[in-house]
Structure 1
């Protein structure tokens, strides 16, 4: 199938941009069974879905001659989760519908609202915007939806996930009967299904995302690291891959700020994107990535929505995604339009099981590898340099004359050495990873154990979290009741109804006798039962599981309640 059956204005716009055959999602919306119907389209980012929904609502905005219909109110509305994505969609629809004479208006947060209102009143045919700004224009009377023929929800799942349900429902409730509703989303969670049932009629489902949740053009790697070595691992991953453009995902603005400063200090060309940056700052950051002044972007999930960087070949999840959908959306920034990409998840050793579960849920096969060390990076540098120097060179007379002068003054070996040193001097130094294996991590953890606690006896007391037990007041009680010092009390484990703690074996008998002698009822903790435990906390919990707890449990010492009340 080709684009030849489209209106002449759209066909000419696509031909001018070099489009010859539709992508799967574009072909699906052009099939006869999709004409005029509501659509639920499950399509990955980077699959050509912007052009797909632009073509899908052509019948609602063009006349029989392929020109834009003459109306005062907008004919189509596209809603996107972020301003970057909305502006990107606006640019795409602008060149697609320019030959048809369409006027596109963008309505996004952070831009001049008065200019947007003038554009809407001036007769915009297609409106693209974010939920909050569109609702604001609607409530002010600047956005007239009475003539709307189609409304598109782009990345609908993300808009609901970001808390835009109320805004979306407000906008959709204001649209006229008979308009088409086209939902485009990479995933289809239950909230999307509920919204589809409410606002769509006999919608056609189109799934082009494939059975596998991950992108076929993305290679996934899970890199195990010590929690203290995450930033060094990021440095080495950037140096090892030397991607044209890379994006690093963090969970918070604070982490973005810190990692951005760290990478700047180490010599990387890096920009940051988070909610604390203005629209002007965001535009400058994206332009720096596009023109090559920066090669690394550190961003939060929300700030990176809608970013489309053609050279983006590396995504690093510095902090583990909260769920499989977030993993998919983050990784989908690379591996677009047939290009290959790499998505790396940094996995602190204690969180490996969680990541394995997430990957299974996402149906992603990731390769588990260690972070690249210094030797691996140097080997990569050598291979890249040799490949670059073996490329054909076109040199002018001045360059050749300088090369001859160098050969007269230095040997070929010295010149080559200087060339290698100059090349390496432009790149940040790799980091020495102190802990780079799970076994080394476990050994390091063992070394942290306090001396004298290799042989211990577990004791228990009959108070736990339900009674607001806290180590700050448990510890003094144990010292007073057992006639021991703080240094003779090991780990304290507070459960729901009991608290367990360690006492070295050589003082356990004396501790037990002292705790029995000091049992009483004077309100300072002496009313609590302290006794030996038959097993460590977890094993004891399994034995006691299902047993009925006593109805009346002792309360914490009065002084503890007083401290809590003073803190307010």
Structure 2
């Protein structure tokens, strides 16, 4: 606690920190807190998930806030409603006995209720860009007295298409405010935003070795794509207390994997963009209460999840970006506890593994999938402990008569063995072993798909489709491929070259695939404002500004002058 005191933190906040069990500041907190408490410059801080960044800006904001000031003293912007609620909850727990009102404004909750809370008086507002602008336009949010503006996960905010919204909000705040920008990465867009709105600012960086904690054991398993589920099940089987998040790429895969795990006897829930907000909060609460053992989620849906005691994070598929890998595994190995990050790597993902290792500077060791006998032995060891515990508790009296009846018909060994087999779960002894991948070459089917995709990319006679969405809609090439596969069943290997622009994209593909895509999306959404249209290869359609939000966890974007625009989510 003395270390926090030496940073200049007040006794009121120190008492709250002590009650939460915080006694030593994290590296980003040690860098940020004294500068915000004592300095007057703006700050740009680079830090990953799990580094204590909420307290890094929350502590000084709370310390400098005045009780009963009568105006909003700080505005904190977050990219998602989940992160908004998480940040507000953390700040509420840090304020101690200080009488400050913290109000959240985000989509998915009654706007009238939020307006009522704002009118009662707010000292600190935490919100998502879309809803904050709604409040500004309704005249119920006055930011002219704001002393602090915080952008949390600024890179995610810009990736999700909120650049214009953020700038609109920054133009509405007190010009004399101090600004703090937190971002996991520092792309050019972030630096330009800082240059435009922050003037003189100071850069702070939490070193990567502080971010990718040594408390995380990172291991990967080489396994064919069609054997991933069986490999995952065995890895869960041999763990005593598996409690974790499994990351998938698409909604469909997320839902399917959760169903498979549930059928195998692991309490599991799926979290993706189609899950309604009320249901989402119930799922997360069940997971926090450990009524659910496993959460299967997409990257977008998992933003803002804050569960501190995860034993495992599993990459069912490796992410395409190293930063996403760091974000994922950062959800375990927290609060001084050991965690494990597992990656299931098919032959086609070896290059991704190399990219992740290089970019994230990660020490990821190769693991060996447990054999049938190893899984069975682990189950038997667990059953022995459980049975010994039941006998020691003396809770067998009601079963004595049944035991006597069975023993009169069968030998003691047969009876006990049968009961143990029944209790051990699915019979694994007759399942085929998961064979290790012996060579480093891709199998023939994967080589064929890669070759087929390359041929399609270079085929001058293939069809060209125009896609009425682009980077501003938070869509990447990977997202587009996954979205098409999810909606049509067409695998990415069957598609050709993709050209991505800010407001639109082009995709080259075979005639049969193009017809299927146009048919599926026309049937689903109708012919007005089509997402996909045919585009002659020799002509380029003019850039069209898309007004549809397509991320499941982002606020619905506003139409800017276009009529009949339809919001799509995936």
TM-score, normalised relative to structure 2: 0.71
Which residue of structure 2 lines up, in the alignment, with residue 468 of structure 1? 461
Which residue of structure 1 lines up, in the alignment, with residue 88 of structure 2? 90
| Cα separation, partners in 2 of 1:241 and 1:185, compared to 1, 3 Å | farther
**Structure 2: distance between partners of 1:263 and 1:147:** 52
Which residue of structure 1 lines up, in the alignment, with residue 33 of structure 2? 30
Q: Secondary structure at the match of 2:86?
A: helix
Matches within 5 A, 1:360-509: 360-385=358-383, 395=393, 399=395, 417=417, 420-421=420-421, 423-425=423-425, 432=431, 436-439=435-438, 445=444, 465=458, 467-468=460-461
Alignment pair present for 1:326 and 2:324: yes
Deviation per residue, 1:65-91 (Å, 9 max, x gap): xxx2512x3111111222111111111
Matches within 5 A, 1:132-281: 132-211=130-209, 214-281=212-279
1:313 offset after TM fit, Å?
A: 1.3
| Cα separation, partners in 2 of 1:393 and 1:166, compared to 1, 3 Å | farther
Which residue of structure 1 lines up, in the alignment, with residue 310 of structure 2? 312
Q: Is the 8 A contact 1:46 1:337 kept in 2?
A: no
Q: Which moved more, 1:27-36 or 1:296-305?
A: 27-36
Larger Rg: 1
Q: Which moved more, 1:401-410 or 1:241-250?
A: 401-410
Q: Secondary structure at the match of 2:284?
A: helix
Aligned mate of 2:118, from 117, 120, 137: 120
1:212 offset after TM fit, Å?
A: 6.9
| Cα separation, partners in 2 of 1:59 and 1:240, compared to 1, 3 Å | same
**Structure 2: distance between partners of 1:403 and 1:135:** 65
Q: How many residues align?
A: 456
1:331 offset after TM fit, Å?
A: 1.3
Q: Secondary structure at the match of 1:298?
A: strand
Q: Secondary structure at the match of 1:22?
A: coil
Alignment pair present for 1:55 and 2:59: yes
Q: Which moved more, 1:279-288 or 1:364-373?
A: 364-373
What's the RMSD between the two structures over aligned residues?
A: 3.7
1:414 offset after TM fit, Å?
A: 7.1
1:376 offset after TM fit, Å?
A: 2.8
1:434 offset after TM fit, Å?
A: 5.8
**Structure 2: distance between partners of 1:124 and 1:430:** 62
Deviation per residue, 1:422-474 (Å, 9 max, x gap): 6423x78699466532238969749999xxxxxxxxxxxxx99453179xxxx
Deviation per residue, 1:343-370 (Å, 9 max, x gap): 1122111221232122211111111234
Q: Is the 8 A contact 1:245 1:289 kept in 2?
A: no
**Structure 1: distance between partners of 2:142 and 2:245:** 39
| Cα separation, partners in 2 of 1:217 and 1:416, compared to 1, 3 Å | farther
**Structure 2: distance between partners of 1:142 and 1:386:** 63
**Structure 2: distance between partners of 1:246 and 1:429:** 23
| Cα separation, partners in 2 of 1:428 and 1:249, compared to 1, 3 Å | farther
Q: Is the 8 A contact 1:324 1:361 kept in 2?
A: yes
**Structure 2: distance between partners of 1:208 and 1:254:** 36
| Cα separation, partners in 2 of 1:151 and 1:433, compared to 1, 3 Å | farther
1:200 offset after TM fit, Å?
A: 2.0
**Structure 2: distance between partners of 1:447 and 1:122:** 61
**Structure 2: distance between partners of 1:11 and 1:464:** 61
**Structure 1: distance between partners of 2:435 and 2:123:** 58
Which residue of structure 2 lines up, in the alignment, with residue 539 of structure 1? none
Which structure 1 segments of 5+ residues have no match? 63-67, 450-462, 471-494, 497-564
| Cα separation, partners in 2 of 1:415 and 1:171, compared to 1, 3 Å | farther
Which residue of structure 1 lines up, in the alignment, with residue 567 of structure 2? none
Alignment pair present for 1:2 and 2:6: no
Which residue of structure 2 lines up, in the alignment, with residue 44 of structure 1? 48
Deviation per residue, 1:289-319 (Å, 9 max, x gap): 1222210111111111111123311111112
| Cα separation, partners in 2 of 1:35 and 1:226, compared to 1, 3 Å | same
Q: Secondary structure at the match of 1:364?
A: coil
Deviation per residue, 1:137-189 (Å, 9 max, x gap): 12222211111110111122222222222222221222211211112233333
**Structure 2: distance between partners of 1:87 and 1:431:** 48
**Structure 1: distance between partners of 2:9 and 2:390:** 45
| Cα separation, partners in 2 of 1:222 and 1:464, compared to 1, 3 Å | closer
| Cα separation, partners in 2 of 1:32 and 1:237, compared to 1, 3 Å | same
**Structure 1: distance between partners of 2:442 and 2:250:** 31
1:208 offset after TM fit, Å?
A: 2.5
1:38 offset after TM fit, Å?
A: 1.7
**Structure 2: distance between partners of 1:432 and 1:186:** 44
Q: Secondary structure at the match of 1:249?
A: strand
Q: Is the 8 A contact 1:221 1:367 kept in 2?
A: yes
1:278 offset after TM fit, Å?
A: 0.8
Which structure 2 segments of 5+ residues have no match? 449-455, 464-495, 498-517, 520-532, 535-570
**Structure 1: distance between partners of 2:320 and 2:334:** 23
**Structure 2: distance between partners of 1:431 and 1:76:** 62
Which residue of structure 2 lines up, in the alignment, with residue 353 of structure 1? 351
TM-score, normalised relative to structure 1: 0.71
Q: Secondary structure at the match of 2:438?
A: helix
| Cα separation, partners in 2 of 1:447 and 1:230, compared to 1, 3 Å | closer
**Structure 2: distance between partners of 1:133 and 1:84:** 14
| Cα separation, partners in 2 of 1:432 and 1:139, compared to 1, 3 Å | farther
| Cα separation, partners in 2 of 1:262 and 1:390, compared to 1, 3 Å | closer
Which residue of structure 2 lines up, in the alignment, with residue 499 of structure 1? none
**Structure 1: distance between partners of 2:226 and 2:362:** 27
